[in-house]
Amino acid sequence: MNISQTAPVKTFKRVHFEAALKSIAKLANTTEHSPLGPVQEFELLRECGALEVVLPGNALDFNTPNTPALLELLKDVGKANLSVGRIFEGHINTLYLIHLYGNTQQKEKWYNGVKENGDLFGIWNTQGADGININCNHESYIISGSKTFCSGASLVNKALITGNIKTAQNEGWQMLIVDMEKISDENIDRESWKPLGMKASGSFKVNFSGYNFKDCDLLGQPGIYLNQPHFSGGAIRFAAVQLGGAEAIMESTIEYLKALNRTEDPFQQLRISRICSEVTTGNLWLRQSGRYYDEWVIDYTRTQDLIAFANMTRVNIEESCLKVMEESNRCVGARGLMAPYPLERIFRDLSFYLRQPAPDATRLKIAEFFIQNPGGFND
């Protein structure tokens, strides 16, 4: 099932977006157990114009410096539901790669799919031993292999996947856009997704073997997916969604303590103080990373600065999220971590979502940057 629509999407308005987020938050506990996933949630995001908000002429057009506001938007979706935030961030990430590397015809085709049909994009790079290979078949191409952790696999209409290509003209790690309408439901392995949290993200394994496509579906040249600073710099987007989860924990914790008349307890106040400080710290990192991204992404002399600051933002927000969970855990105790209280789900979702690739290697790269640049970021 996908969320493609036939009616045009609406122009993005903040008031409609905030109303959609309230509904998404209310649906979260039910959606986690739905085999269809967050279908209604993405209908709400489509109706308020969020799916097209970064396209040319829209509120957060990628052609203008809007990264701080975009990060705030991603955080707000994550605050409502981390699984929805994960899929939505993948949609935004894909549109950004199309913005960077698509030709005029590709942009027109894929942007119009969002504007006219409400298309939802996914981006799937992770794979196991049976990963993607792209082979030339006369005037077209054919895929063999699978991708794992395909968030929103049963929802998205178009998916950006990566794989090895080797032809007379091209060789390397290639991006391409797959029409998920042409992927059989039998190729989506729902049994592969049995996580601690983020269940509603439906991050299934998908077998793309036998899928045929043409040159026009290849996005950019081989190897360009890993181009810096866009590859590492993009970490600030998923960090924004994660911080939304921490904000949800903060607010839910305070609401829980108010309901029990425990907010006057000095020990609880100390914990609340630490929770709010960590969330504020995360927001400061996020806002500054957005400002630096807009300034530095167009200045090739600042590429390493941008990567280092994005890495620092990612790991510091991770640390803040972990501390928020630790303090909230002490605040609410066992009872507060049981369903139907929302903290039971949010804790599981955020714990799982924080497990991003190579956290220790990311910290080592930060150290390397400062060893090589003792002055740090010279503004």
Tens digit of each residue's pLDDT, the chain (379 residues): 454 444 444 578 889 999 999 999 999 999 999 999 999 999 999 999 999 999 999 999 999 999 999 999 999 999 999 999 999 999 999 999 999 999 999 999 999 999 999 999 999 999 999 999 999 877 789 999 999 999 999 999 999 999 999 887 889 999 999 999 999 999 999 999 999 999 999 999 999 999 999 999 999 999 999 999 999 999 999 999 999 999 999 999 999 999 999 999 999 999 999 999 999 999 999 999 999 999 999 999 999 999 999 999 999 999 999 999 999 999 999 999 998 899 999 999 999 999 999 999 999 999 999 999 988 887 6
Q: What is the pTM of this model?
A: 0.95
Final residue belonging to a domain, choices 167, 197, 226: 226
Q: Using alpha carbons only, what angle is made at residue 42 by residues 242 and 176, rounded to the nearest 5 degrees? A: 80
> Bridge partners of 280?
none
Same domain, 116 and 217: no
SS3 content of the chain, % helix, strand, coil (to 5): 60, 10, 30
Same domain, 342 and 365: yes
Output the six-digit token pair for 347: 């804790």
Per-residue model confidence (pLDDT) at position 5: 44
Within a domain: 56: yes
| CB-CB neighbours of 205 under 10 Å | 22
CB 350 within 8 A of CB 321: yes
Output the six-digit token pair for 241: 């969604």
Q: How far, CA to CA in Å, does 161 sit from each of 85, 158, 174?
A: 19, 10, 8
Provide the number of structural domains found in the chain.
3
Cα distance between residue 235 and residue 365, in whole Å: 14
Look up the CATH number of the domain holding residue 52.
1.10.540.10
Cα distance between residue 210 and residue 78, in whole Å: 35
Same domain, 75 and 209: no
DSSP state of 168: S
Per-residue model confidence (pLDDT) at position 86: 98
Same domain, 48 and 97: yes
Output the six-digit token pair for 82: 């981390």
Q: Using alpha carbons only, what angle is made at residue 292 by residues 288 and 293, rounded to the nearest 5 degrees? A: 115
Within a domain: 377: no
DSSP state of 119: -
Same domain, 235 and 363: yes
The sign one gets for the Cα dihedral 115, 117, 118, 120 is negative
Final residue belonging to a domain, choices 170, 201, 226: 226
Within a domain: 209: yes
Same domain, 28 and 60: yes
Output the six-digit token pair for 311: 């890495």
Final residue belonging to a domain, choices 67, 101, 120: 120
Within a domain: 193: yes
CB 127 within 8 A of CB 149: no
Range(s) of the domain holding residue 46: 14-120
Per-residue model confidence (pLDDT) at position 6: 42
User: Which residue is it, tokens 């998404």?
Assistant: 24
| CB-CB neighbours of 51 under 10 Å | 25
Q: Reduced to 3 states, what is the DSSP secondary structure of residue 215?
A: helix
Per-residue model confidence (pLDDT) at position 9: 44
